[in-house]
């Protein structure tokens, strides 16, 4: 980090500034409190739940949508048993996302116990771990962590990474160790003003990740958290950036640009509208350079005959 450069992209994410005192935003922009089953278990979508197994992070991002709770010193362990009871009793839950805080901040032995409990639940088919620790404090990842991950694999590891400068040799070593443990790796990035709101910076980041076996998964519009307004990028600019990336990047390096709608309405994709219009069965579709072609849209509109569930 360039400690004497106020515009250093790492410094801006980590060091508090007076701009955080601006009005606007919410302590709980995604309204997680109203969809919490327990204080550490969140259920917004059918089929999956978010389990907050840690209240600590290796770096307190100034734009975090859980600033209201992380680093507050509360012990999530006291809520674990009621959370496990709910998870084991609701057989509609197919995926559990371990988050926090950062799941890798808890003792490795506790992480092992949590994964063991989840693996006893036959209805839980997928376990995802969302983390930033391998980026901001890669030395904290130990051999024991990777032994545990291999024991409970396959696991999906979602790495929060925002700028090419965060791709260090130590981070890349962790990526190789994750892959060696059989983990599947994807990334999520937050679009941040004066940090990464540039097609060239994001192209460099996403292509570097793909070259190391990490699939860019989400590019998130900033959540409307209190104190984060100065990081906001207009949606129109984000859409322009995505359009430019689509013309330059491999499909493997293209994340989904999404916004988590304020108030808890869920995340939706936001992208350039390539379908420009219709005339009869002709669909007029624009490419990345602005040229328009025609696709004959004469497929069968009858309902699905395969699953037996569609109405």
Catalytic center residues:
44-45, 48, 57, 61, 64, 66, 223, 260, 267
Check: CB of residue 141 under 8 Å from CB of residue 133. Answer: yes
Check: CB of residue 52 under 8 Å from CB of residue 41. Answer: yes
Read off the DSSP letter of residue 47.
T
Check: CB of residue 222 under 8 Å from CB of residue 230. Answer: no
Number of residues that make up the chain: 311
Which residues are 112's β-sheet partners?
Answer: none
| 3-state SS assignment for residue 111 | helix
| 3-state SS assignment for residue 31 | coil
Strand positions, DSSP E, the chain: 36-38, 41-42, 48-52, 95-99, 126-131, 156-160, 184-190, 215-220, 256-261, 266-269, 275-279, 282-286, 292-296
Read off the DSSP letter of residue 19.
G
Check: CB of residue 105 under 8 Å from CB of residue 71. Answer: no
Q: What is the CA radius of gyration of the chain?
A: 21
């Amino acid at each position: 980090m360039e400690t004497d450069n106020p515009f250093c992209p790492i410094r801006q994410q980590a060091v508090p500034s007076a701009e955080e005192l601006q009005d606007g935003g919410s302590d709980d922009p995604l309204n997680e409190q109203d969809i919490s089953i327990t204080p550490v278990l969140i259920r917004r979508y059918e089929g999956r739940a978010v389990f907050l197994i840690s209240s600590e992070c290796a770096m307190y991002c100034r734009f975090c949508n859980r600033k209201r709770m992380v680093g507050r010193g509360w012990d999530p362990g006291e809520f674990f048993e009621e959370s496990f009871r709910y998870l084991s009793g609701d057989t509609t839950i197919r995926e559990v996302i371990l988050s926090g805080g950062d799941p890798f901040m808890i003792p490795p032995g506790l992480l092992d116990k949590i994964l063991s409990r989840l693996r006893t639940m036959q209805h839980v088919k997928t376990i995802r771990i969302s983390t930033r620790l391998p980026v901001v404090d890669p030395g904290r990842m130990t051999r024991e962590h990777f032994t545990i991950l291999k024991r409970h694999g396959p696991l999906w590891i979602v790495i929060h990474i925002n700028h090419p400068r965060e791709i260090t040799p130590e981070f890349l070593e962790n990526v190789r160790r994750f892959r060696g443990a059989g983990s599947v790796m994807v990334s999520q990035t937050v679009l941040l003003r004066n940090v990464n709101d540039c097609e060239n910076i994001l192209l460099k980041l996403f292509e570097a990740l793909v070259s190391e076996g990490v699939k860019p998964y989400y590019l998130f519009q900033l959540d409307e958290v209190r104190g984060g307004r100065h990081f906001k990028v207009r949606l129109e600019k984000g859409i322009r950036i995505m359009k430019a990336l689509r013309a330059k990047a491999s499909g493997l390096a293209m994340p989904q640009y999404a916004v988590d709608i304020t108030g808890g309405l869920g995340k939706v994709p936001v992208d350039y509208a390539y379908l420009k219009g219709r005339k009869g069965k002709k669909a007029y579709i624009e490419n990345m350079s602005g040229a328009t072609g025609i696709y004959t849209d004469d497929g069968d509109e009858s309902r699905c005959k395969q699953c037996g569930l569609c109405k």
